[in-house]
Structure 1
């Protein structure tokens, strides 16, 4: 599906895996995990149109990548936080999150006001200023601590972030090569549009509300699971609707 939907799903999954231990950082890394498979869109800069069509939703959307990628990114994230340069790594994480949010802003503006660049132009310096000011105060004051998560926990976060991304894409019409590189079969259930606000918006609202509560607050989990439940229920309804339409 669209980038925003995958970011929201990844953040919610990250919260389920590590939210109680590392708080909102679980959502941030979950959002990153939900975005990584779609980085195959960069292939359009190196491949011709036909090859890029085959590459998109290929190996990066496979079950094999979910396992191998989870090990690689989980190991890398664990090593990054154990580095003596952890403060700068934290700043880098914030920058990555800001870039992801920038993609979301750009995506929304493409829908609401195509051709309008002013919000994105205003967003970049504002976020850059906040990133530096907040980072100096928080990460270089001597009180910052690395997240309490093991390498195995990081691997689990990336694994579930990748798997749920792939499964969600299977419900669209484009087709997802989940068995690559062993098969080029594209799984395309075709029950939901690539961008569906009825799936994404309630999910996003629940996630934002959940993020406002402390990791130990039960309401945080309730709101996060509410978002997952609503989106999953809507997805199930699209399957039912698809079956009804094609049975008549």
Structure 2
């Protein structure tokens, strides 16, 4: 999730555990701990692909966070002893904030290396990386807790429960859409071996579906407010890696994306796209891997580069109309391709 949400979650979790001892200091410490795992974004792994796929790595690992929590707690108790905030209480708060951070990240589509240094990216894809309906209650609880004194902890406890229920709602909505997708793929004779279902920006009502096929992939939208269960799928060309040599960065990107990759040539550059995040023709993660040399042959770049996209908010209204169940928009899906 975004940094504001993670800080808000950390503060609210800390306030919920503190209970009657909840105050501005507890909330601030919780917010700082909530942002700690994401400080790995300042590490440079050498190129654009590695900076992307190694984010949410060691700093989000369930093998690393518990000993880190114990170390932070020991240091705090060593230099700031407090009869109430014993090592046991401090370590419980610290571990809770750090673990809820990485578990929330694992519910987005980006992917989180929960078991680093073991290989594997985990994601449930039941919530978008920015969702106001999840974040705003957390911010409200923090605001109330700053002034409610003894009742602040209760507000935090209530909102932590509400936010958890919202994540459960996202998973339930995803499963409802999944059953509808399964029926549509069978009815339309589209292969169903590799199907991706993920929320569109800022909500858990409108869902994007990507289906991989031989030589093409299918893309569609499904809203929980649709009156008709039919899903309009648009097929798009799916290319393969054109070079004999396969760099290790490509292997890493393939693992990160679970194979949801596409390849194209644009302006003499070989572009590799992660199909999971964004919309067709305007995807969030695109990388330049090679360029044409003087004789027209592909030459791998010394280091991969982010390929710039043009994402904006001007078409969010179209997605909003589609969210409300206007399936006529699906006949012209290109209208929303330039959305986040």
CA contact (8 A) 1:10 1:32 kept: yes
Name the residue aligned to 1:173. 109
Between the aligned partners of 2:19 and 2:46, the Cα distance in structure 1 is 39
Deviation of 1:53 after TM superposition, in Å, equals 2.0
Residue 78 (structure 1) shift: 1.9
| Residue aligning to 1:108 | none
Normalized per residue, the structure richer in strand is 2
Match status 1:195 vs 2:127: no
Corresponding residue of 1:157: 93
Verify: 1:238 aligned to 2:173, yes or no.
Answer: no
- Measured against aligned partners, the alpha-carbon deviations of 1:17-63 in whole angstroms (never above 9, x if no partner) come to 2343463322111111111000110114x532222223200011011
Residue of 191, 203, 210 corresponding to 2:145: 210
**Contact 1:61/1:177, CA 8 A, preserved across alignment:** yes
Is the 8 Å Cα contact of residues 21 and 149 (structure 1) preserved in structure 2? no
2:41 counterpart SS class:
helix
User: Equivalent of 1:229, from 161, 166, 173?
Assistant: 161
In the aligned structure 2, how far is the partner of 1:208 from the partner of 1:175? 31
For 1:63, the equivalent position in structure 2 comes to: 62
How do 1:1-248 and structure 2 match up within 5 A? 1-21=1-21, 23-44=23-44, 47-82=46-81, 148-181=84-117, 183-214=118-149, 217=150, 219-248=151-180
> Per-residue CA shift, 1:199-245, capped at 9, x if unaligned?
1012211221122122xx3x323311221122112211111111111
Aligned length: 180
Q: Which has the higher contact order (CA 8 A, sep 6+)?
A: 1
Q: What is the TM-score with the length of structure 1 in the denominator?
A: 0.67
Please report how far the alpha carbon of residue 69 of structure 1 lies from its aligned counterpart in structure 2 after TM superposition: 0.9
User: Does the CA-based 8 Å contact 2:22-2:153 persist in structure 1?
Assistant: no
Cα distance, 1:242–1:22 mapped onto 2, change above 3 Å? closer
Structure 1 portions without partners, runs of 5+: 83-145
Ranges in structure 2 where 5+ consecutive residues have no aligned partner: 181-340
Tell me which residue corresponds to 2:273.
none
1:53-104 CA distance string (max 9 Å, x none)? 232000110111221110111112222325xxxxxxxxxxxxxxxxxxxxxx
| TM-score between both structures, scaled by the size of structure 2 | 0.50
For residues 245 and 60 of structure 1, do their structure 2 counterparts lie closer, same or farther at Cα, with a shift above 3 Å needed? same
Q: Distance in 1 between matches of 2:21 and 2:160?
A: 20
Query: 1:62, 1:179 within 8 Å by CA — same for their partners in 2?
Result: yes
Q: Deviations over 1:171-218 (max 9, x none)?
A: 10000111111x22111111111111111012211221122122xx3x
User: Which has the higher Rg, Structure 1 or Structure 2?
Assistant: 2
Q: Which moved more, 1:5-14 or 1:223-232?
A: 223-232
Q: Is the 8 A contact 1:22 1:148 kept in 2?
A: no
Worse overlay, 183-192 or 71-80: 71-80
